[in-house]
Amino acid sequence: MNLSAISINRHVLAWMMSLLLVLFGLISYQRIGVDRFPTVDFPMVSVTTVQTGLDPDVIDTSITSLIEEKLNSVPGIDHVISYSTPGVSIVTVQFELAKNIDVAFNEVQAKVNQVLPQLPNGTDPPVVAKVEIGASPILWLTLSGDRTLQQLNQYARNVIKKRLENINGVGEVQIGGERKRNIRIWLDLPRMQGMDMTIADVLAAFRSEHVQFPGGFLTGGKREYMIKLDMEFHSLDGLRDMVVRASDGNLIRLSDIARIEDGMADPRQLARYNGEPAVGIGVVRVTGANVVAIVDEVKSRLDKEIIPGLPAGMHIGVASNDADIVRGIVDGLIEHIFESVLLAALVVLIFLKSIRSTLIVATAIPVSMLAAIAMAYLFGFTLNLMTLLALLLLIGVVVDDAIVVLENIYRHREQGLEPDAKQAAIAGSSQVTFAVIAASLTLVAIFAPVIFMDGMIGRFFNAFAVIVTFGVLASLFVSLTLVPMLASRYLKVQHTHGALFGFFDRAFIRLDRMYTRLLGFCLHYRVIVLLLAAGIFVASTSLFGMIGKGFVPEEDEGRFMVIFKVPLGASISDTDMRLKAVEKVLAGNSDISSYFSLIGSGQLGQVNQGITYVRLLPKSERSNRQWEVLPVIQQQLDEIPGLHAFAVKVPIVGGGQRGEPLQFAINGPNLDTVARVSRQMLQRLRDIDGMGHMDLDLQLDLPQLDIKVDRVRARDLGISAADVAQTVGVLAGGFDIARYNDQPGDGNRYDVRLKAEPGELQQPADLRTIYLRARDGSQVRLDTIASWQARLGPAVIQKMDLRYAGMFYSAPTLPLGAAVDRINAVGAELLPPGYGIIFTGQASEFRKTGENMIFAFGIAMVLVFMVLASQFNSLAQPWVLMLAQPMAIVGGIAALWISGNTLNIFSMIGLVLLVGLVAKNSILLVDLTNQYRQQGMGIDEALRKACPVRMRPVLMTSLTIIFALLPTALGMGKGSEMTIPMSVAVIGGMVSSTLLTLVVVPAAYSLLEHGLARLRARFHPHEEEKV
């Protein structure tokens, strides 16, 4: 007794098994996370080393190179990227995706410990940290109002940040454009010189007067007292009265030589929202956390706790919100799922002319889909674009299996082949059990290569494959248990139908007759049919060269970024002036809803660079799509003098990376040569149409002031080089001398910062106003013992894989594959020996994607052959069954080309799916033909009887898949641009393979089996076989 018979005889058991899947699925649906894409954790570890005062050249040679060389021996490295900036070395190690991040962290830490003794004296201990590649804010809030910037900063950090940090799933709350509270000591250089004061005197005063010491306890008898030795000043008046020096009975206080202000840190960051000063509050999630749930909780706290308590005049706005995009995509796909169910049900209703049959098939859909959701939750996946696409596809697969079983049961009932409904259900389901199992295992087999795929496509495909695999197995289980049981109890066959069903019935009869005549022609002219099919395939292969190739399709997210920079050496005020011009462009575009700008953000915090996050109006409220808005904005940005700005997409994977699809580096052993070749490459690429606005990130022209000390003269005067460096550094650059807190305070301590009064040191000539004290107590002007010269030097020295690098970024209008080919061609002409091109980001993944897909196709075909050979116990028949695959691929490619889509990660997934999907139709034809031959029919006789019988289920299964994917192929809803390529590829492949399968497979089967029969007759003449 098989599984179907058990379910039919024990109907309660069948109900309970299905309800168990539904129960687990509903529980999982309530708990599963929601995200835009599957989690892709690039294992990355950074090493940050600080030695204040060193320029990038020294940082590179004395710190960065040492750390790089040591880390390069860690196994599993993909790339080593480093930045040497003034006073800071940042080395980031990007590992292969398969590397365990905890193991990588420990290995990097061990290597860093080995290099510690070799670092220069005074270097801070290197900080090793895991890099969260998705650690960019999922939500940017803005705080603005009629308050000072310091008040906004304080409220954002001390109130709002603390109330959001403890939300479940929040990893960090960033403050954008923050200028922390500082106690500013503005030193008056003329007054200092007049009172014979130097920087050394001020530093010594703070170190002796503004101090705290541990006091311990005073114990005696039955009591003890804690001795508090807090000798710091806790008010500005106290600091003003601090004695800096006593001279001849006269006390020189700090207020005599400086202005003390409760102010802010040096202006190295700036934030604006819609052109108004603001403070940004960025909410960063923990990897894998539910984006929508986090944002909903943030909004709940804002509405219930934070906004009601805001001081008068303060306002909170939303600058960007990833949850809107995620929710739109998820809601859109869930809507498509319901639409697909209705369309699939309509197909079943038209073919089977029975509402009860339609309801039976429709009942199988939620059971299988909820089982797949339960497995997604068990594997730690989220509901995202890929998993929801898999569920959407499952509608067609589930309906396919249910249709094959139900249609055969219905045929047995309609033709009176069995005495009662129960026997008809048992016989009908048993007849197709073999075909359904073979088809399901074939579809499962194509996903086995996924476990060997690396790169981002491997991670994307993994989530998709798990959902489809377990969904197909659940569908197989349901079609062999629940569907036969329901058919045995509730299916009724009506021999008379209404006018509408009568119309379709007559149409199907005419179609059967046409197909029967066509089948006879194909069996008579088998070789011609096969040659025509081969010709169509060969001619269609030219489409592979004609279709564009990329990593992901164009998408209208309703948002983009403007990355801008001004020449090195520009002050933050100059950058701000250019930013206002950018904001004017954005404000003048009617499709833009809001924009949030930051200067000095990011890991390097350079004041000549910034980023603006732009939100567009909803699609229904604007006239242009995102990819139409970007060129218009870019053209206007190009007209702003003194500014390099690039309007680009937000990157697919976060982490503050740039969003351009084309990213690559030219690297080599010599920095000057890298710079020269990079500029030549930039010029050549800008002359190529379709390469987009190319940005070269090579920061080697920072204006610098090189101070040289006359060491002999300085030594004669008793002044050391350290005295000179300390004095110039404090007055020109500023120096945090101490910490300060109010009493009573807010629980925080703030830096006390020394610096020359604004306006006193602005030009190189102003350094002449700096004085130092000689050994004899006299004042010595700086220019008598030192000279300075302006020159250009590096602001950032970047390396990739231990070699100097120039990074390129662009969003080409050419397909990504064509752009990569052009770059390689130009590089072959320009690059000297020892210099190379390294592609990163999407361009790198694109190369891996092509390699992975060729591998996946090859292994999938081998596994499908093995499954079919095992199922049919033949090494010959699988070749006939697999004729549908090339026909499907041709149809998929043709549909992509006709619709203007590219060959990308989503369309490739669709093409791989076709390998398994289209095999089902061939299996249905060949399986029934084999059954009829076992009953004594000849080869052609069995084909003439089996193929017309199987034509309707073949058409039904193909149409259900086509209609299930039709809503996404039409591009309705948010995120539809991502789903279109896969849907179009599958629909095109199903159309071509279905039409060709019905004629090519019978012709090939007949030709093969007749040939085998002749061979058997030749070698075994006494065996007879009916032909």
According to CATH, the topology of domain 182-213+248-264+703-793 is 3.30.2090
Superfamily for the 44-130 domain: Multidrug efflux transporter AcrB pore domain (3.30.70.1430)
Report yes or no: 244 and 199 within 8 Å, Cβ to Cβ: no
The pTM of the whole model exceeds 0.85: no
| Tokens describing residue 683 | 């010029």
Q: Which helix (H) or strand (E) holds 518?
A: helix 499-524
User: Distances from the Cα of 819 to the Cαs of 440, 657, 697, 805, 896, in angstroms?
Assistant: 40, 20, 19, 20, 20
Report the distance separating Cα 72 and Cα 74, nearest Å. 6
Q: Provide the CA 130 distance to its chain's centre, in angstroms.
A: 18
Closest CA to 103 of 125, 82, 77, 127: 77
pLDDT, one tens digit per residue, over 282-297 is 998 887 678 888 999 9
Determine the residue type at 465: A
Q: 């898999």: which residue's tokens? A: 390
User: Sign of the CA dihedral 114, 119, 124, 129?
Assistant: negative
Which DSSP state fits 783? G
Q: What φ, ψ does residue 779 adopt, rounded to 5°?
A: -90, 135
Residue 866 has what pLDDT? 86
List Cβ neighbours of 555 (8 Å cut-off, separation of 6 or more).
Answer: 626, 649, 975, 977, 978
Q: Provide the CA 791 distance to its chain's centre, in angstroms.
A: 41
In the chain, the largest separation of any two C-alpha atoms, in whole Å, equals 133
Report the distance separating Cα 15 and Cα 447, nearest Å. 30
Secondary structure (3-state) at 169: coil
Report the distance separating Cα 336 and Cα 190, nearest Å. 75
Which DSSP state fits 549? B
| Tokens describing residue 28 | 């999982």
Pick out the chain residues at pLDDT < 50: 654-656, 1025-1027
Report yes or no: 394 and 369 within 8 Å, Cβ to Cβ: yes
According to DSSP, the residues that pair with 563 across neighbouring strands are 611, 646
Architecture of the structural domain at 557-648: 2-Layer Sandwich (3.30)
**Radius of gyration of the chain from its Cα atoms, rounded to whole angstroms:** 37
Closest CA to 199 of 785, 714, 722: 722
Closest CA to 409 of 345, 485, 355: 485
Which DSSP state fits 125? P
Describe the crossing of helices 939-969 and 976-1019 by its angle, rounded to 10 degrees: 170
Torsion of CA 620, 324, 845, 629, to 10 degrees: 30
| Tokens describing residue 945 | 């009887």
Q: 């960051």: which residue's tokens? A: 269
| Tokens describing residue 779 | 């004042």
Report the distance separating Cα 741 and Cα 749, nearest Å. 5
CATH code at 512-541+874-1027: 1.20.1640.10
Domain ranges of the chain: 1-31+354-488, 44-130, 182-213+248-264+703-793, 512-541+874-1027, 557-648
Architecture of the structural domain at 1-31+354-488: Up-down Bundle (1.20)
Report the distance separating Cα 645 and Cα 634, nearest Å. 8
Q: Which helix (H) or strand (E) holds 14?
A: helix 11-31
Report yes or no: 46 and 524 within 8 Å, Cβ to Cβ: no
Q: Do domains 1-31+354-488 and 512-541+874-1027 have the same CATH topology?
A: yes
